[in-house]
Chain A
Amino acid sequence: MDPIVFLRFDEDITAARIHDAAGSLADLDIAAGLVMPPVIEGITGRARSFDAVIGHGVQSADRVSGTTLANRDVTVQAIMRWDVAAQNTHGNPGTLIVRGKGNAAAEYHDFGIELRVVNAAALIGEIRFLWQDTAGVLKTQIGGHFQASSSWIMVTATRRWVSSTEVLLRYYLADELLAEVSSVDGSIGGGTTAVTSLGSRFTGGAYARFLAGAVDQVRVLDRELTHEEIRATWDRIATIQPRSLALVRDLHPPGFPISDNPASRVQRETMIWGNALGYAAAQAENVRANIRPNRAYGETLEQWEQVTGQATKLGDSIEVRRARVVARMSQRKGISIEGVKQALAPLVDTDVSNLSLLAFDQTVTEPFNSLRGELWDVEPAAEFSINAGTLRLQAAAGTYNFTGQIRTWKTARMSIGGDGRGVHIIAKINPTTLPLQSCAGVFLGDYARGNFVLLEVKHTGGVGGSKIQTEVFRNWVSTGAPVQQGNCTEDATVWLHLSQTGLSQTGPAFIAPAAGIGPFSCRFSEVSGVAGFVDGAFPVEAVQATQWAGLHFRGEPSGSISSTATDISFDDLVVRAPAGERSFHLYVYRDPALPGRPDLIGANNVISGLRQSHTHAAVVTGLSVLCDDETTGCDIGPTGGF
């Protein structure tokens, strides 16, 4: 990305207006209160001198309005000389460059750099940013302190806008980072028609805060330069080019008579060859030092991102972009637990030990602390509630049937998916009020085929008061409701255990069980969830009842139940679906309470590249993974259901 302002000060006479090599600014000139800075010899050619007493300064507007507006990321870099003593005498910080005159919204400063004397005797200076917010309030930032001198120096100031409350500023002297400052002043003003000033700032109705020193080159970019880029420039200017020029000069035999006139052919040849050699050597050194993805920038980094399949989102910092590439490339150990965590830890800004892989199994043990919508489908929702760790059903008197196609029963169900082989559902039924001729229990069901298997306690009245029965529906037609246990204590708590176990020896599993072997089994207990179970006896039914497991309440066989309201609690629920069609999912959990700035986008890019085909992986910051959530890709539930 090219600079938006580039002033080289190559003009050979003072009166010549200063040209912007980037073409953004109109030729800079004086205005009322400003004096044209004189041309002097600089370090890379001609330069301009700024005397704070005289009031040197220039200004101009954009050739095309808005070209230089930079109210987000910006870099100002200059080769300059600063006269600390003179600046101190002036009594104000000296302005290197500032955009806007600050006296109207269209002129609010979107960026400015000034140098302040911290201690003149000790030659301590400070380079700092300033800008105005959208209301015009001047925001002078904390700068970087440095040991100043009267020599030519290279200064760089970068700003990265993160949010309206966070801006990251970095200040460099030569290739050395002076300070990294985090500012809360993310509201940055600026207008398209603002005037850019060099060497002074318009404040209080006049130009003031003049710079004391000289400027050889200054450029402004609308992005944040990296430390590597700054170092590469410094190395070229301060070391490699001077050495190369000296090398070419030294090719002449000692004492060989050559002209010292810079305009002479021999000197011009020496300059050409020396600078060309130096430039080439510097570029080679830049590539050597910064080709790796952890130091790359610009097009090189973009190419690394392409190679590793990383997408760049506008606003991503260079550190984030590099970290993503490095994480992708440094991944080792396959998708082993340790390998995955090592690859992700730098991106999510925490130690490897703070990451955990979540493992889902095919068993749901429901504590009923809440009715999780991602797991349960309840109908009608208004009559189910969570009560002291149980699922409570409270229904008014009415007709609630399950007679195949006619279904007004009340259910709380979860999908189990797959072919249902080996599925188990266990639940505690605690009836406070179970009306006569009504049932509560567990079921397995396939709504598409109309196949259901129910295991339930029924309030019959009479001796005992309750019984335990099963009923199987094939294609919505009941095959009967045999009693499994009669004379149960009325309204007593029971534990019901229903499972689908049938496996055939030939053909598809469980649809055609071997002769004499039923596909379902049931157990029930009036004692506890772990003792006193009695085995029931299912008829031999070739029924495929997959898809759903749940809790139900209904009137049976049909017709109305009593006018008594229903109050039942379900508890101790365990559902296990070992054959659920849930492919292997890899979820890496990072506790959101940990300090740091996790790059979840980058981390998910990396883990997506690590996962096996036809599986899903994600870096998550919650211990619940929602189904049908596009960010986690969990399209099916942990038990393989929908």
Chain B
Amino acid sequence: MPPTQFIAKVSGTLVGSIVSFAVPTTVRAGDPLIAIIAADPTVTTFNQALPANAGWELLGVLLGATATIITARRLAASDDRATVTLTLGSVPVWSLSVLSGYRGSESSSPVVGAFTNIAAATAFVCPSQTFAAYSGTYVGIAVVTSAAVAVTPPAGTTERSEELVATRTLEIFDYLPETTGATGTKTATTAANQTGVAASLALLAEGLRGAGKVITAAVPGMLGLPTVGV
């Protein structure tokens, strides 16, 4: 149901290699849930075939120099427990994770991701994404190797999450391009030079509706909208 609509987000909890998310109560059955997990570079895999990862679909693994970003998707189900978990391929040294609901996003198509390694800069330039159809959502991700500096999302975007752990920050923002073609890069800004990874995702919207839904026949004397209640 275009446009893609952000519903809610929740931070993940890591125990060993298992990331747990408490499903937000505003999520409904059928809503696509996107998990964005940033971890140290020793984490390189996420096996969706594991029984422990039933229900999850791996969208991509971005292997940055200072962080790995794993994205996965699951559809909220009515019989989901209050908490859903995801098992990484190894125990991370550190990890930050966020689960976000994006109602109206495509639930089965691939999600394109891209990243750039950032070396000692205040500008975290998240790569451009190209949308072939309207109403998709650009999601920008910045993983900063510091938990002591503020991270500002780009103008015109909406910050959805800023997670902190020890010496890392995970910044997530999004916006609706309402156009096709390339969105251009989106730059998040840190207060001081930092290293890290800047990434982006293109969440596609479900197909546009309404084509051909017009009244074609002029019917003289036709009764239009109901005049009384039912």
Contact = CB atoms under 8 A, between A and B. Distances in A.
Interface of A: 1-3, 6, 8, 21, 41, 43-45, 77, 79, 118-119, 122, 124, 126, 142, 144-149, 151-154, 173-182, 216-219, 221, 229, 233, 236-238, 241-242, 245, 262, 267, 271-272, 274-275, 278-279, 297-300, 349-351, 353-354, 591, 593-597
A594 B222 contact: no
Given A216-B224, A349-B78, A173 B210 contact: yes
Given A124-B208, A147-B208, A595-B25, 20 more contacts: A3-B229, A41-B218, A43-B224, A142-B5, A145-B134, A147-B210, A151-B214, A153-B210, A176-B210, A176-B213, A178-B210, A237-B222, A238-B216, A238-B217, A275-B221, A275-B223, A300-B230, A350-B78, A595-B76, A596-B78
Given A147-B211, A154-B215, A177 B1 contact: yes
B79 A179 contact: no
A620 to B, nearest CB: 17
Nearest to B221: A271
B105 to A, nearest CB: 12
A180 B227 contact: no
B223 A118 contact: no
B209 A173 contact: yes
Given A180-B1, A297-B230, A217 B208 contact: no
A336 to B, nearest CB: 21
Contacts of B227: 3, 6, 21
B32 interface: no
Contacts of A593: 82
Contacts of B225: 6, 77, 79, 217-219, 233
A45 to B, nearest CB: 7
A176 B209 contact: yes
Contacts of B210: 146-148, 153, 173-174, 176, 178
Contacts of A216: 224
Contacts of B3: 126, 142, 145, 179
Q: Could you say which of A79, A124, A279, A593 has the most chain B C-beta atoms within 10 Å of its C-beta?
A: A124
A224 B5 CA distance: 22
B201 to A, nearest CB: 20
Contacts of A241: 219, 222-223
Contact of B223 (A146, A238, A279): A279
B213 A145 contact: no
Contact of A153 (B80, B214, B218): B214
Nearest to B77: A351
Nearest to A346: B78
A626 B219 CA distance: 65
A152 B223 contact: no
Contacts of A8: 224
Nearest to B214: A151
A77 B226 CA distance: 10
A119 B1 contact: no
Grouping DSSP codes into helix (H, G, I), strand (E, B) and loop, the A interface class, with mixed when no group exceeds half, is mixed
Given A144-B2, A233-B226, A79 B215 contact: yes
Interface string B171-215: 000000011100000000000000000000000010011110111
* A-B interface, 4 closest residue pairs, ranked by CB to CB distance from nearest: A351-B79, A298-B230, A174-B213, A146-B210
26 contacts: A43-B215, A43-B219, A44-B223, A118-B178, A145-B135, A146-B210, A173-B209, A174-B214, A176-B213, A178-B1, A179-B2, A179-B104, A217-B224, A229-B226, A233-B226, A241-B222, A271-B220, A274-B219, A275-B219, A278-B222, A279-B223, A300-B230, A591-B82, A595-B80, A596-B25, A597-B25
A153 B229 contact: no
B15 interface: no
A149 B23 CA distance: 40
A175 B212 CA distance: 12
A298 B229 contact: yes
Contacts of B209: 146-147, 173, 176-178
Given A44-B224, A173-B210, A233-B226, A153 B78 contact: no
A350 B79 contact: yes
Of residues A118, A180, A274, which shows the largest number of chain B Cβ atoms within 10 Å of its Cβ?
A: A118
A79 B1 contact: no
A9 B216 CA distance: 20
Contact of A145 (B2, B216, B222): B2
A262 B220 contact: yes
B149 interface: no
A351 B224 CA distance: 42
B222 A275 contact: yes
A271 B224 CA distance: 14
A60 to B, nearest CB: 20
B1 A179 contact: yes
Contact of B213 (A142, A173, A299): A173
Nearest to A592: B82
B155 interface: no
Nearest to B134: A124
B227 to A, nearest CB: 7
A179 B7 CA distance: 13
